[in-house]
A and B are shown apart, each in its own frame.
Chain A
Amino acid sequence: MTRRDWALAVVIVAITLAVGLRSPVFLTPRNALDIANDSALLSILVIGQMPVLLTRGIDLSVASNLALTGMLVALFGKLFPGAGAPVLIVLALALGAAQGALNGWLITRFELPPIVVTLGTMSVYRGAIHLVSGGAWVNDQDIHASIKALPRAELLGLPLLVWFAAAVAALGWWLLRWRRAGRDLYACGGNPHAALVVGIPVPQRIRMAYTLSGALAGLAGLLWVGRYAIAFTELATGFELTVIAACVIGGVSIAGGVGTVGGALLGVLFIGVINAALPVIHVSPFWQQAIAGAVILVSVLLNSRAQRQAGQQILERPAA
């Protein structure tokens, strides 16, 4: 863990203790489980977003992808009540991956800026929900029983939703820390020109990052619909910004090449703790957004100050 990660962890613990002092209910296992459950969906999306940010890209379409995939699997479940959970999971991953792959293809094939492409597909995917659903909601009674069971079923005392998040986090860590393809992503974002020169297949890696982000958005869509037992057009609107916020707070650089899974998860935890703590100490939900925003600004400010002070090392260091 870096010093920055430790500092964030200390802040999270401090907030938790301070709120716990005022209302001890905040420190119960029950509340911890609530925070974990609420953070699970966010963390799946963050693990998808992070590789994209590492390449100097951004994926604004994740919330639309999540909602479209959620709607599609909900409709599929309604049509085919016999389908089992594995089929639904594979379907959600595939639908999400397809949408992500489209982003990656547009970006690399036409050399378009990721922010423009994903801003476009964000609207396209959101609009497609209308097309497939006719604007109608899929309500609790029409949602496939397996979809609803998926996030709630328990394994070793923890809901499956949390296990999914843990598995995704482990997968992200494995990819970004231990696989060549993952290390290549750091190179692609850290110095795109140099990445080409040393022979990294940059476009291929970029497509991989967006496809992964899409697949995880699809998985999150399935779990989201199961957890809240509803699918509708406006599902998770604006959630992509929370995802990016968690990444930035967790030390993932928008400028590419910097970030760890551990840091990003701390960012998720921070948002989870803040969101759970503010109602407990009677702060209105309107303030919650403003506070999350302020935290992003502060963390970006600290990052850039640290970078600016460093400068280059030209002078010889005094001999030790």
Chain B
Amino acid sequence: MSTSSPSSSDPAGVLCLRGIHKRFGPTHALRGVDLELRPGQALAVIGENGAGKSTLVKILTGVHQPDEGTLWLDGQPLRLQDTHAAQAAGIVAVHQETVMFEELTAAENIFIGRQPMRGPPGLRVVDWATMNRLAQQVLDEVGAGFDATTPVNQLSLAQRHLIEIARALSHQARVVILDEPTAALSQAEIRDFYGLVRGLLARGVAVLFISHKFDELFAVCDNYVVLRDGASVGSGRMQDASEPELLRLMAGRSIEQVYPLVDTQPGAVVLEARDLSHPTEFDGISFVLRRGEILGFYGLVGAGRSEVMLALMGLKPLARGSILIDGQQQRIRDAADAISLGLAYVPEERQRQGGILDFSVRHNLSLAALAGPRHAVKGQVSRGPWLSALRESALAQRLIERLKIKTESQDAPLSGLSGGNQQKVVIGKWLGLEPRVVILDEPTKGIDVGAKQAVYQLVAEMVAQGLAVILVSSELPEVMHLAHRVVVMKRGRQVAEFQRGEVDAEAIVAAASGLSRNAA
């Protein structure tokens, strides 16, 4: 049979993808992905947030099935109808967000669903002793310094990551997908991790490596594929590539076009935090925030940044420390207290915590004002004790225009909007509260470049209007280009503070991942 499309050249390598497409409702997440994985080689998959990397991983692990396109394993067409099929094919993923069973031990997390068994057929029982021994072996192999019988809920995020890696190792996998595997690891742990990856490659395993950090891609990978807006836009050998070239391929536009110029002069101090501390999550966090200022909070995943923000909003108890608004010490017992003091918080996982997907755009936009503790705020959507549909609609219209939200009507359900527009709605509703401080937690996670630009523009406008913004982000370019100052956190502690333009990316990353500390 002849092949019809130019991209379907002979499938090569252990795993080969040709013309993969995937749609979710109106979102066209993947539009033609081609890649090849060869035994003993590592392939870097490079792309911005929202370029389709997560969807690609889900297709390779059998969580989603492609709408179009073919997968080949050893030259044979492969159908991954579920996660079991992917595991049977020897494809294993180490996930960006750890996939863990909190209540079970490390050993069970490694072997769940395929525990070693003993006894006669039909009456076979889990061989706990063997399982714990094998788990301990593989944990020792990845340099995890804890016991295999430790329940996962007693382990830190970095330790959980090691369990995930141990799980992939124990699978005798042929293809290992590493999705941001070092996001929560310190510099020393990352070095050990490179050793692990090289060990996998030496055994002839094919590795698909997803990362934002170019230095580690150059250190580990042989080849690369660049994804942009769900399609492969370039590929080649890593040693022939350069960082600026890859960046240009990723963005398809230059940095100056993505980030607006933020040149406001910070004014008087609005918010001051002194020695905020929690028993297990963070310790000794102090900072000031001024009018018209963007304060970045940078750190590895799990460094405790979101936890500090939750504490500011009264959603996490403080063991010590005080919060001052306009120089007055305030007691914030719950979110209503925080909101009435002019704080607004846009949470990290916007689909779970931020917006109600089945509600209309209008109802999502009026949520914050509806719940607002002050009458002046409530007055925007109500008349006396009664809700006013007219006022609610007017508020929604104002916000839709101000934020340039693309929606058919106010009545369209939030779920029908694109990721960026959803994010605008989720952020925009807080402006209905007329806040003075807006806390944005990973506001561009999982949205495409165009939507990111819209969010950056929105942030720039907010500070231009005199709002103060805290920007929690793991995207270094984001904090470096937008924030006036950057606070760096590591393992629950504040390790550095930088002015914009004062330092380069490496200094910030080094502070966050503790290189200097290890050297000392």
Contacts and interface: CB of A to CB of B under 8 A. Distances in A.
Interface of A: 174, 177-180, 183-184, 186-187, 190-191, 193-201, 257-258, 309-316
A303 to B, nearest CB: 13
A194 B104 CA distance: 13
Contact of A183 (B83, B108, B157): B108
B113 A314 contact: no
Given A312-B281, A312-B307, 6 more contacts: A174-B125, A186-B101, A197-B99, A198-B113, A313-B155, A315-B281
Chain B contact residues: helix, strand, loop or mixed? loop
B493 A315 contact: yes
Given A186-B101, A187-B101, A191-B100, A312 B280 contact: yes
A201 B307 CA distance: 35
A195 B104 CA distance: 12
6 contacts: A179-B125, A183-B104, A195-B101, A196-B83, A197-B95, A309-B279
Interface string B265-283: 0000000000000111111
A133 B104 CA distance: 47
B87 A199 contact: yes
A171 to B, nearest CB: 12
A180 B278 contact: no
Contact of A180 (B102, B126, B281, B493): B126
Interface in B108-158: 108, 112-115, 117, 125-126, 153-157
Contact of A313 (B61, B103, B126, B156): B156
Contacts of A197: 61, 63, 83, 93, 95, 99
A310 B491 CA distance: 17
Most buried by A among B84, B93, B113, B157: B113
A257 B103 CA distance: 7
Given A178-B125, A313-B155, A315-B492, A198 B112 contact: yes
A180 B302 CA distance: 32
A314 B115 contact: no
Most buried by B among A174, A199, A257, A310: A199
A187 B105 CA distance: 11
Contacts of B420: none
Interface in B422-462: none
B101 A200 contact: no
A150 to B, nearest CB: 27
Given A187-B104, A197-B95, A314 B112 contact: no
A314 B103 contact: no
B304 interface: yes
Nearest to A174: B125
A198 B170 CA distance: 13
A314 B280 contact: yes
Contact of A257 (B102, B279, B493): B102
B160 to A, nearest CB: 10
A199 B100 contact: no
B477 to A, nearest CB: 25
A190 B125 contact: no
Given A180-B117, A197-B95, A199-B87, A186 B103 contact: yes
A315 B282 contact: yes
A62 B102 CA distance: 29
A314 B303 contact: yes
A183 B492 contact: no
A172 to B, nearest CB: 14
A184 B307 CA distance: 32
A120 B282 CA distance: 47
A184 B302 CA distance: 28
A257 B155 contact: no
B99 A191 contact: yes
Contacts of A196: 63, 83
A13 B13 CA distance: 67
Given A197-B95, A200-B112, A314-B302, A179 B126 contact: yes
Given A184-B112, A200-B112, A314-B303, A190 B101 contact: yes
Contact of B279 (A183, A258, A311): A311
A191 B101 CA distance: 6
Contacts of A311: 278-281
Interface in B287-321: 302-304, 307
Nearest to A191: B101
Nearest to A178: B125
A180 B63 contact: no
B120 to A, nearest CB: 13
A257 B82 CA distance: 23
A217 to B, nearest CB: 25
A316 B491 contact: yes
Given A186-B104, A190-B101, A193-B99, A310 B283 contact: no
